[in-house]
Structure 1
Amino acid sequence: MTSQPSLAKQDSPSESPGDAPTGDGLKAGLKNRHLSMIAIGGVIGAGLFVGSSAGIAAAGPAILISYALVGAMVVLVMRMLGEMAAASPASGSFSEYADRALGRWAGFSIGWLYWFFWVVVLAVEATAGAVILEGWIPAVPQWGWALIVMVVLTATNLASVASYGEFEFWFAGIKVVAIGAFVVIGVLAVFGLLPGSDNPGAGFAHLTDAGGFFPKGPGAILTGVLMVVFSFMGSEIVTLAAGESEDPQRAVTKATNSVIWRIGVFYLGSIFVVITLLPWDSKAITDDGSYVAALNSIGIPHAGQVMNVIVLTAVLSCLNSGLYTASRMAFSLGKRGDAPKSFGKTTPRGVPQAAILGSVVFGFVAVFFNYLWPDTVFAFLLNSSGAVALFVWLVICFTQLKMRGIILREAPEKLVVKMWAFPYLTWATIGMISFVLVYMLFDDAGREQVLLSVLVAAFVVGLAVLRERQRARVRSELDVDVDVELDA
């Protein structure tokens, strides 16, 4: 037998919040402040700081529309996921919902693909953090720093979910404060209101003074979409973490309702500041990075080092959350019989130790590949997980189409978060995501990612189908044996 998310189950912890069981062996050790900061910081990845300059160079000021389009898509997906998670919080989130709504093959496939995505991210972020740390303390080699940050954050996750929450609270807090300060200071400088600023304060002039708002043509918006879409991955982490919180329904509802302003301020707000402080084609944006160039234009001393500290914080936050997310997905798969049984077990502290260690071991292996074969083996891992974010969002959409009926049939009172204009906006979102995937096939940079990701997805789905056929055969054999015994 495998566990399914029960809409009828109502958590009512009788113990202290930090020790309260969630019903599947995990402990409700995340406080409301942890969940709030995880929700806010989850949309701020290192990709926002590092990758935005390439998007600006590709689309000019029109990159704002690219961010807005992807942001709208993420808001809609999060609304759908929030509807399901508020009704039935689960450690496996959308994988468990897909398991129930679409079939075991869907839950198995998307769960393992999502796990694969995050363990590859562990290697990427560990390496990125090591590069920054080696620049500060070159006596320790880059591989040594990667090992150190992985070991420290693994120990944090192994201690308790509260330790993960506390680390993430401060990591995310630094990111939020930094971006918030950047937006406020930048807006003041844009209008020439910042005392002592080196920036001339051109207002909105830079949005059109270098070839207009669409210097590369309207088609560049779609190119920009491909370049920024993956920096939004991580918004869904809060729905996995909610299952280990004091009040899952409240946490999910709050996170879902606030996703619009979070994306608006942190993504659109900060990119708007960059392209209004400097012309989009400024050499400084590509040479120094968009945020460093913007800080330099204001006259912030040591802007590069300031941004390195913020990027390192974002990297550690992503690494911390990536390990947590991968381990909880592995735990959920283990509980459902779709991963080794040991993955579905917890320690007395409510920590899925085997799931954490299994995830981090693959992360270490990926780091090893990154150092030995960065252009072959690791490039394959990176590209073959590249489109998984879009696959996850597609599955969330199709799952919500069916889960709405299940919720209404079994526990309509739990439908506290509703997808807007259902089912029309759900189908529109499916159309948007499908369009992006198809467009990637015609893009030189995106084609390899889509094809390799489809190849890996097909392999995982094939495994899922074979497992289901094997299970069906075993069940039929058991039924035959029972019938024979009854006849005897």
Structure 2
Amino acid sequence: MIAIGGVIGAGLFVGSSSGIAAAGPGILVSYALVGVMVVLVMRMLGEMAAAHPTSGSFSAYADRALGRWAGFSIGWLYWFFWVVVMAVEATAGAVILEGWVPAVPRWGWALIVMVVLTATNLVSVGSYGEFEFWFAGIKVVAIAAFIVLGGLAVLGLLPGSHQKPVGLANLTAHGGFLPHGPGAILTGVLLVVFSFMGSEIVTLAAGESKHPQRAVTKATNSVIWRIAVFYLGSIFIVVTMLPWNDKAILERGSYVATLDVIGILHAGQIMNVIVLTAVLSCLNSGLYTASRMAFSLGRRGDAPKSFAHTSTHGVPRAAILSSVAFGFLAVFFNYKWPDTVFAFLLNASGAVALFVWLVISFTQLRMRRIILRENPDKLVVRMWLFPYLTWATILMIVFVLAYMLTDPSGREQLTFSGLVAALVVAVALVRDRLGSGRSDTAGRP
């Protein structure tokens, strides 16, 4: 369920509206392109994770294949990304909860949400898994119901409805399938690419499962249908049911507007419950992911040694508390300086997803040779058409990064993210040069 729910983030429910407005029905192509890229990256990651399951995942593999500087850099960047996401999700959840219970101020709800999920993660990894199981279950049921209801409405088969079949007219009737031209597909890619971040969490969680190799293999093999059904399926329903330029899509959100057209009562409140679930799921996973990455960095000597200590239940409490402390600080920045300090944090973490996918791709090129040399029997998941699809993925990611320079908001994200990444890499190289920290083989997968 972590694998299934991992691809359904709050960004799908909230962020799809701007993508549809920018690219029209052609947003389906944007989602498909990013989906293909994510499938390829997950296949590469699955190959490495099945051979060497570890809570450090790609950071530990980069350490082994590319050098200590690479594992240090991508590990801390990924940690930084999820700490900022925790603040974003806590604030988003607080906005919804304040609307239901205005007696509690927004900052109070953010605090409550953070404290509850921190306590859950501190108990045991089983508690995290249990919460994420139910969060993911609600998201999956909601998306599946949305697709079924929307499909019936498109065909005019919705029980109790006298609405004529919508058909596929909205895909081409309002300026064509690409009303803003083919270039809008790439603009759509920039808007939707970050809603896919989180797919790789399953490879971190697998390291703490009973049968990690089997869990990773199953999860990575199913990523294709997960993306096809949940992303492409639900977005197809939206752009089929509504004209892409319908103002309701931006005003009320793409999913709420679609539910209204279908005739679902209280669609706004229903979607608020689902979005809140997605937000809590993302926050829960963000805390888990940040803490496990900090734990792995601690084991490898790239973070304080206390991060690598675990409780009797196997929980890295110091790593969790340190991660959530920075999460609380980021929430404070969001309330105190939303347009300056927090805006910088958002931009500085904006392109980290693409950096992570790029490092995974380069790592897999080297790890394949290492696995074949040391224990070829562990290569139970193989990247398709290696190394050609790996290099194709690298070129796709580099192209998206280059295209970000042509978009004002994308350029700002890439600039700030690049500066932070350069700073972290510089620190890593200096540490390597000084020879501080652990030995070369400590904590490696």
Asked whether the two chains share a fold, i.e. TM above 0.5, the reply is: yes
Per-residue deviation, 1:145: 0.1
Per-residue deviation, 1:196: 2.5
Q: Which residue, out of 316, 334, 342, partners 1:370?
A: 334
- 1:113-169 Cα distance to aligned partner (Å, 9 max, x none): 000000000000000000000000000000000000000000000000000000000
Q: For 2:280 and 2:140, how far apart are their aligned partners in 1?
A: 14
Per-residue deviation, 1:442: 1.0
Q: For 1:301 and 1:401, how far apart are their aligned partners in 2?
A: 52
**Aligned counterpart, 1:478:** none
Does residue 38 of the first structure (1) align with residue 2 of the second (2)? yes
**Aligned counterpart, 2:235:** 271
1:381-420 matches, within 5 Å, as 381-420=345-384
Does residue 253 of the first structure (1) align with residue 217 of the second (2)? yes
Structure 1 unaligned blocks of 5 or more = 1-36, 476-488
**Aligned counterpart, 2:205:** 241
Is this contact kept in 1: 2:301–2:437, CA < 8 A? no
Q: For 1:236 and 1:465, how far apart are their aligned partners in 2?
A: 26
Change in Cα spacing, 1:200 to 1:473, as seen in structure 2 (3 Å) is closer
Q: For 1:449 and 1:203, how far apart are their aligned partners in 2?
A: 39
Identical-residue share of aligned pairs (%): 80
Q: Which amino acid aligns with 1:195?
A: P
Please state whether the residue corresponding to 1:211 is helix, strand or coil.
coil
Q: How many residues are aligned here?
A: 439
Change in Cα spacing, 1:399 to 1:308, as seen in structure 2 (3 Å) is same
Is this contact kept in 2: 1:198–1:297, CA < 8 A? no
Please state whether the residue corresponding to 1:244 is helix, strand or coil.
coil
**Aligned counterpart, 2:151:** 187
Q: Which residue, out of 416, 431, 434, partners 1:467?
A: 431
Q: Which amino acid aligns with 2:389?
A: L
- 1:159-182 Cα distance to aligned partner (Å, 9 max, x none): 000000000000000000000110
Q: Which amino acid aligns with 1:338?
A: D
**Aligned counterpart, 1:156:** 120
Q: Per chain length, whose mean CA-contact separation is higher, i.e. which structure has more relative contact order (CA < 8 Å, sep 6+)?
A: 2
Q: For 2:84 and 2:128, how far apart are their aligned partners in 1?
A: 20
Q: Which amino acid aligns with 2:374?
A: E
Q: For 1:132 and 1:298, how far apart are their aligned partners in 2?
A: 24
Q: For 1:199 and 1:44, how far apart are their aligned partners in 2?
A: 30
- 1:186-218 Cα distance to aligned partner (Å, 9 max, x none): 001011110233754221111001011010101
Change in Cα spacing, 1:449 to 1:473, as seen in structure 2 (3 Å) is closer
Does residue 355 of the first structure (1) align with residue 314 of the second (2)? no
TM-score (normalised: structure 2): 0.98
Is this contact kept in 2: 1:123–1:367, CA < 8 A? yes
Does residue 58 of the first structure (1) align with residue 58 of the second (2)? no
Q: Which residue, out of 265, 269, 291, partners 1:301?
A: 265
Q: For 2:266 and 2:32, how far apart are their aligned partners in 1?
A: 31
Q: For 1:283 and 1:392, how far apart are their aligned partners in 2?
A: 36
**Aligned counterpart, 2:192:** 228
Does residue 76 of the first structure (1) align with residue 40 of the second (2)? yes
**Aligned counterpart, 1:379:** 343
Structure 2 unaligned blocks of 5 or more = 440-445
**Aligned counterpart, 1:289:** 253
Change in Cα spacing, 1:286 to 1:198, as seen in structure 2 (3 Å) is farther
TM-score (normalised: structure 1): 0.89
Per-residue deviation, 1:54: 0.3
**Aligned counterpart, 1:122:** 86
Q: Which residue, out of 447, 461, 465, partners 2:411?
A: 447
Q: Which amino acid aligns with 1:51?
A: G
Q: For 2:433 and 2:224, how far apart are their aligned partners in 1?
A: 43
Q: Compute the RMSD of aligned alpha carbons.
A: 1.1
**Aligned counterpart, 2:180:** 216
**Aligned counterpart, 2:442:** none
Q: Which amino acid aligns with 1:299?
A: G
Change in Cα spacing, 1:369 to 1:472, as seen in structure 2 (3 Å) is closer
Please state whether the residue corresponding to 1:418 is helix, strand or coil.
coil
